[in-house]
Chain A
Amino acid sequence: MLRPRVLVVSGILLAVICLLAVVALGSGTYRLAPVEVLEVLRGGGRSMDRTVVLQWRLPRAVAAVALGALLGISGGLFQTVTRNPLASPDILGLANGAFTGMLLTLVLVSASWPLLSAGAVLGGAATALLIWALARTGGVQGFRLIVVGIGVSAMLASLNTWMLLQIELETAMFAAAWGAGTLNGLTAPPVLGAVVCAVPLLAVLAVLGPSLRQLDLGDDMAAASGVRPARVRSAALLIAVALVSLATAVIGPVSFIALAAPQIARRLARVPHLSPVLSGLTGAMLLLLSDLVAEHLLPLLAGAREAVAAALPALAAHLPAGPATVPLPAGVVTVSVGGLYLVLTLIQEIRRRA
């Protein structure tokens, strides 16, 4: 029962994603026009262009799209299962747990990339188990899960703060950038690994889909139509945790995408339930856009500062020192953009009521 509006919105989202991807593949210190990017993607182009686009930038763009989609789908599942629009893996403490796992690995074991990822996944999974065990009586649904999540999450956050205080400044900054969620320095193999692992999970989700939609009608109705609410819910939650763990293992705990994507998608398409496809597309678009901003914001600011200093030499001494050239983590942008989105929604809602 696909409504035309859902199809149109999906099409537009896809088009925006493609557009953003072309921009992302073309921008950077070695700039390429969209035409040149398309030429490379079709198999042509100069060999330098091919190296830059296919080997340097493509893995990052693919990661943003694929992992953003996983985050969006995961967030939608969390919100469907808990029936709470504010439920998301980050609020439930998984992000902090993953960061704790990563920090422990960094401090106690080693700083190698695969080990840090493994530590993060273990940390996230352990946190999920702990929260589930503490909130279990009375069902995983609803309020208690969120409160327990907030508590455990806050405790882990302060543990993380403390561990950051104990280590060298440089190591701590590296860890903090990872902790915000970043696509900087990403290579192709982990992205491919995450995508390959996600495929069977998404297949199971596709099978579960109809039963999940039945749950929206309430447990009694769902049970009457032959669905076992508790079992479906646990399975969905398990898939959601696995999906977000995959994304976190590769790019760290990027916040707000899982929270905002399903809600934005639902508003765009004006459908009552959260559709995994729409949530995934929106998540992909959000992460791609955020990463684009994160990668190029500081160089742009530095450029603007130089331009002002050149035009008005008298002002040059008073301008704040240009920030270091380290690119920002994408997670910094997703938090700000997500927050801004919430503020705007709020103002809009107030206007409508007034």
Chain B
Amino acid sequence: MIPRNRRPIGAAALLLGVLIAVALSLALGANPLPLDLVWDTLQGGGTAESQFVLVTRGPRTLAGILAGTCLGVAGALMQAFTRNPLADPGILGVNAGAAFAVALGVALLGLDHVSAMVWPAFGGALAVTVAVYLIGSSGRGAADPVRLTLAGVALGAVLSGVTTGLTLSNPEAFDAMRGWHAGSLLGRGGEVLLGVLPFALVGLVVAALLAPGLNAIALGEDVARAQGADVRLIRLGVVVAVTLLAGSATAIAGPISFIGLMVPHAARWVFGTDQRVILPVSAVLAPLIVLVSDVLGRLLIAPAEVPVGIVTAFVGAPVLVLLARRRRSRGLGALS
């Protein structure tokens, strides 16, 4: 953890990192462009070829930033809220719901392009999260995190089984889903991003409003109540924000694993445990990692590509294993 007075330096380094990642994402790929040509093209100049390349890489980069920010913040919210360092936004059934709806759309309506799958994905994510919340919060008392997690895992399992059955009996759906499942930023047009953007923004605003309350919850719910925090309202807010954010990210890029899980940890290691710091740091660090992973995916087996979701799993899984192997990993002990 860096000392408090060095935090501005850390923040500046992060922003610089994002700028570099954006530049790399615009410049590198099957058809690399020199950085000065990228700059010229962005200002309206450049060659016909460079303009053509940036028309595809521009939205792709924006998609990476938007999906990354959403996942990072959603992950930080989930971990603070469940006080479970292994909580991932996918736990609330977001990915399973989105996948199920996309598979239905492909099998029954014949959707055949990624941009047409955005809305089913978003709708499925929202519907399933609401169902998980209803199951988890029925009965006496508000939805407690353990119940929500279990409900998410259970409902997710049911849906993933049905999705697999659906795709295995329908070759077109199978073909579409095996691509969607990998998580990719390829071919997401600007209009798709604009459509999802309002939902993501609402989610980010709600998340920002929740940060002080989450600090109180981190000390335990009784302490939070004693401090005057409205635990019930905070819980509802977290579920709404996570649904909007994770739903947006999944709608844009499909399931991108491990970003929501590992980014908040990195933020905590470097900047301490204050949620008012972790949330914004996650919001910046996550797109950085998504963009770098996407660029790596383009370069690894060029001219072919590895989808970004697969690169993030290969970056993220070792982080998780390291985390589990650290002797005194804070918070992990609470679960053992």
Contacts and interface: CB of A to CB of B under 8 A. Distances in A.
B154 A152 contact: no
Given A332-B164, A343-B158, A354-B140, A173 B147 contact: no
Contacts of A346: 135, 147, 150-151, 154
B317 interface: yes
A343 B306 contact: no
B108 interface: yes
B168 to A, nearest CB: 6
Given A298-B169, A339-B157, A180 B139 contact: no
B326 to A, nearest CB: 10
A343 B151 contact: yes
A165 to B, nearest CB: 6
Contacts of A338: 157
A320 B103 CA distance: 14
B119 interface: no
B158 A169 contact: no
B34 interface: no
16 contacts: A134-B325, A143-B332, A147-B324, A150-B320, A152-B317, A155-B317, A158-B257, A159-B314, A162-B307, A162-B310, A165-B178, A169-B171, A324-B170, A339-B157, A343-B135, A353-B139
Contacts of B175: 169
Interface string B151-172: 1011111111110111111110
A154 B313 contact: yes
B187 to A, nearest CB: 15
Contacts of B153: 339, 342
B309 A158 contact: yes
Nearest to A131: B321
Interface string A332-354: 11111111101100110011011
B54 interface: no
Interface in A15-67: none
Given A161-B310, A343-B158, A346-B151, A147 B140 contact: no
B240 interface: no
Interface of B: 86, 107-108, 135, 138-140, 147, 150-151, 153-162, 164-171, 174-175, 178-179, 181-182, 257-258, 306-307, 309-310, 313-314, 316-318, 320-321, 323-325, 332, 335-336
A351 B168 contact: no
A351 B317 contact: no
Contact of B160 (A137, A328, A335, A343): A335
Interface of A: 134-135, 137, 142-144, 147-148, 150-152, 154-155, 157-159, 161-162, 164-165, 169-170, 172-173, 176-177, 180, 256, 298, 320, 323-324, 326, 328-329, 331-340, 342-343, 346-347, 350-351, 353-354
> Which 10 residue pairs of A and B lie closest in terms of their CB atoms, listed nearest first?
A339-B157, A335-B161, A342-B154, A336-B161, A339-B158, A350-B139, A158-B313, A143-B336, A155-B317, A323-B169
Contacts of A326: 168-169
Given A148-B321, A335-B157, A343-B158, 4 more contacts: A172-B178, A324-B169, A336-B157, A342-B150
Contact of B336 (A142, A329, A332): A142
B323 A147 contact: yes
Given A154-B258, A158-B310, A335-B160, A135 B324 contact: yes
Interface hub of B169, B307, B310 (most chain A Cβ within 10 A): B169
Contacts of A165: 178-179, 182, 307
A99 to B, nearest CB: 13
Contact of A151 (B162, B169, B174, B318): B318
Contacts of A150: 86, 320
A137 B320 CA distance: 16
Given A147-B324, A151-B318, A339-B161, A332 B257 contact: no
A113 B335 CA distance: 42
Contacts of B138: 347, 350
B165 A328 contact: yes
Contacts of B178: 161, 164-165, 172, 176
Contacts of B147: 346, 350
Contacts of A177: 168
A88 B313 CA distance: 22
B155 A343 contact: yes
Contact of B158 (A151, A180, A340): A340
A298 B108 CA distance: 16
A158 B323 CA distance: 20
Given A339-B158, A347-B135, A162 B306 contact: yes
Nearest to A165: B178
Contact of B168 (A155, A328, A339): A328
Contacts of B135: 343, 346-347
B157 A256 contact: yes
Contacts of A343: 135, 151, 154-155, 158
A180 B154 contact: no
Nearest to B323: A147
Nearest to A323: B169
A354 B258 CA distance: 36
A162 B11 CA distance: 35
A333 to B, nearest CB: 7
A342 B233 CA distance: 27
A242 B314 CA distance: 28
A202 B75 CA distance: 44
B185 to A, nearest CB: 15
Given A343-B155, A350-B147, A147 B313 contact: no
A320 to B, nearest CB: 5
Nearest to B334: A143
